[in-house]
Homo-oligomer: A and B are copies of this chain.
Amino acid sequence: MRMSDGVEWAAHACALLAALPEGVGVSAALLAEFNDLPPAYMAKHMQALARAGVVTSARGAGGGYRLARPASEVTLWDIVEAVEGPEPAFRCTEIRQKGPCAAKPAECRHPCQIAAAFHAAEKAWRGSLKAVSLASILADLARKQSPARRAELLAWLETKL
């Protein structure tokens, strides 16, 4: 089981968007360049974020992506859901209904104990991700990152906008 790298990329991209002044659009190409990522694939993931309503997009010169809502209202789960899709990692294939001792469909109105346990575990996982917003990430970062470093990053971005 492995989460696609796109989730990490999208999360960092969204954190960058959240750190920017309001109303500024950033192209997918620039977001990719910032972390030395493949531009084409980065663009795909930004499209996924746009479809999911996490960011808004604007075409044409001076366009690009920006957050669709305040940073405090975008969670890591929103980003995972946008990039990886909403489906759970564990998908019960109902093998109890197969084989020589197959259970009848009527006996399977409820998920089996195993599926229930996995679903509960994933719910805990999602809950943990929903508790972390871009705002809380930036707040943590501000505490650990030197102001000089932060200024350096913003300065580079300004030269490109």
Hey, what's the 0/1 contact readout for A1-35 against B, CB within 8 Å counting as 1?
11111011101100100000000000000000111
A117 touches B (CB below 8 Å): yes
CA distance A149 to B101 in the complex (A): 9
The answer to whether A122 and B125 touch (CB under 8 A), given A8-B90, A8-B114, A99-B33, is: yes
Q: Which residues of B contact A36 (CB under 8 A)?
A: 95, 98-100, 102
In the bound complex, how far is the Cα of B113 from the Cα of A150, in angstroms? 15
Q: Which secondary structure dominates chain A's binding surface?
A: helix
Copies in the complex: 2
Write out, one digit per residue, whether chain A residues 89-101 have a CB within 8 A of any chain B CB (1) or not (0): 1111101101111
A100 to B155, CA, bound (A): 12
Shortest A155–chain B CB gap in Å is: 9
Contact-residue bracket for chain A = 35 or more
**Cβ-closest 9 pairs across A and B:** A121-B128, A125-B125, A36-B98, A36-B99, A35-B95, A117-B132, A3-B89, A124-B124, A113-B137
Which residues of chain B come closer than 8 Å to A96, judged between CB atoms? 12, 35
Query: Chain B contacts of A120 at CB under 8 A?
Result: 128
